[in-house]
Amino acid sequence: MQPTGHSHSVLMGYLLWIFGFLGAHRFYYGKPITGTIWFLTAGLLLIGWLVDLFLIPGMDRQADRRYVEGPKDYDLAWILLTFLGLFGVHRFYLGKWLTGLIWLLTGGLFLLGYVYDYWTLNDQIDESNGRAMTS
């Protein structure tokens, strides 16, 4: 688990920025609309992608204020989604065994679930961490 008050990582943001023309870093920081725009336009024709090189520290601070840190690590969940999402590994990590199994058997519900999780993973982790705090 990361230090208190740091749900997201600047290092992880920059690692995902490498694939930023696909919007990965924007999804990671909880910006699904602009993440989708980056995905559909190759990072606004790479111009927005280059500008984001300087915006990542600010996006990181915003994400740290917005999302609850807890036992489920955002960085690990995003790594699992990005590289093993079609197999549902990120869902197993979050304790969502049934949907993890469905992801495993259907390739992330034929890729549509994969996109859904890019839009909602931060909220899923936030909810899981919030439940852990109240238990």
In tens digits, the chain (135 residues) has pLDDT values of 444 578 999 999 999 999 777 899 999 999 999 999 998 999 899 899 999 999 999 999 999 999 989 999 999 999 999 889 889 999 999 999 999 999 999 988 888 888 899 999 999 999 999 888 787
Residue among 63, 75, 72 nearest 92 (CA): 72
Q: Which residues, 6+ apart, have CB-to-CB distance to 116 below 8 Å? A: 109
* pTM confidence score: 0.88
Q: Taking phi first (over 0 means left), then psi (-120 to 50 degrees means alpha), and beta for anything else, what does residue 111 get?
A: left
Q: What DSSP character marks residue 63? A: H
